[in-house]
């Protein structure tokens, strides 16, 4: 993924994102602090690009990441003795903070994931020929049956862990979530079209009830930050 920082509308730096690195700290070594995300797109050369609003600061070294969390069911030493080692994988995904007069659209992770029974926002990996906002529209329909309109990008979140993919591969997984505000103007009863995929259920959740669900790690911090304790903050505008 390519990161571009803009200071007062002028390109300040351009850099490639290292595995495990937080996109929001990409400007520190160039002498810039991130103010917030601006936009994301697939460039003409096929690479995903993330635009950040930045402001000038003193150059600083980014503190190295500690060891990523490991699925507690895994014994990496034993796996290594058997010749299996984590494969580094960086995945950029688009998600929607999708609202309607019925509330917030949410999805439940299936048994094919390592978070079965937990909840998150509709979304998933961006295909090679897709724009990030297009991925949100597609994933929302596949996972919930709802047709949505995507507005601006509001959050960029990065996390890293070691575990098994839904296909069983041992991965050092770097997840980059691009979260967009989106609307559903004609909400219906959610239907999961992607049968036997990573989504087992979907529903409209009243905004004030957001804390009633078990959120997947990562979402458990993002959702309250986006909605606030009254279920409203972050949705205006």
- The tens place of each residue's pLDDT in the chain, 237 residues long, gives 999 999 999 999 999 999 999 999 999 999 999 999 999 999 999 999 999 999 999 877 777 778 899 999 999 999 999 999 999 999 999 999 999 999 999 999 999 888 899 999 999 999 999 999 999 999 999 999 999 999 999 999 999 999 998 889 999 999 999 999 999 999 999 999 998 899 999 999 999 999 999 999 889 888 988 886 544 444 433
Query: Which homologous superfamily does the CATH classification assign to the domain defined by 76-227?
Result: Nucleoside Triphosphate Pyrophosphohydrolase (3.90.79.10)
Report in angstroms the alpha-carbon separations of 212 from 117, 119, 192, 208.
Answer: 13, 10, 21, 9
Residue with tokens 């659209």: 105
Would you kindly state where each structural domain of the chain is located, as residue ranges? 2-56, 76-227
Closest listed residue to residue 223, CA positions, set 125, 99, 101: 99
């Amino acid at each position: 993924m390519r990161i571009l920082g803009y200071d007062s509308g002028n390109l300040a730096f351009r850099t490639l994102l290292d595995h495990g690195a937080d996109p929001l700290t990409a400007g520190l070594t160039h002498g810039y602090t991130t103010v917030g995300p601006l936009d994301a797109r697939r460039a003409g050369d096929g690479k995903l690009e993330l635009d950040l609003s930045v402001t000038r600061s003193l150059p600083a070294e980014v503190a190295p990441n500690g060891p990523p969390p490991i699925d507690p069911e895994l014994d990496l030493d034993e796996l290594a003795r058997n010749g299996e080692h984590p494969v580094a994988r960086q995945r950029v995904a688009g998600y929607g903070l999708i609202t309607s007069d019925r509330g917030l659209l949410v999805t439940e992770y299936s048994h094919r994931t390592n978070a079965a029974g937990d909840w998150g926002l509709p979304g998933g990996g961006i295909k090679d020929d897709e724009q990030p906002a297009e991925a949100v529209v597609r994933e929302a329909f596949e996972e919930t049956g709802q047709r949505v309109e995507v507005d601006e990008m509001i959050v960029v979140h990065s996390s890293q862990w070691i575990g098994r993919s839904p296909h069983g591969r041992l991965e050092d997984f770097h997840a980059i979530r691009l979260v967009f505000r989106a609307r559903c103007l004609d909400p219906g009863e959610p239907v999961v079209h992607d049968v036997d995929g990573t989504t087992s259920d979907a529903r409209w959740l009243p905004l004030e009830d957001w804390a009633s669900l078990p959120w997947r790690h990562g979402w458990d911090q993002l959702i309250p930050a986006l909605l606030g304790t009254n279920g409203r903050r972050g949705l205006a505008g």
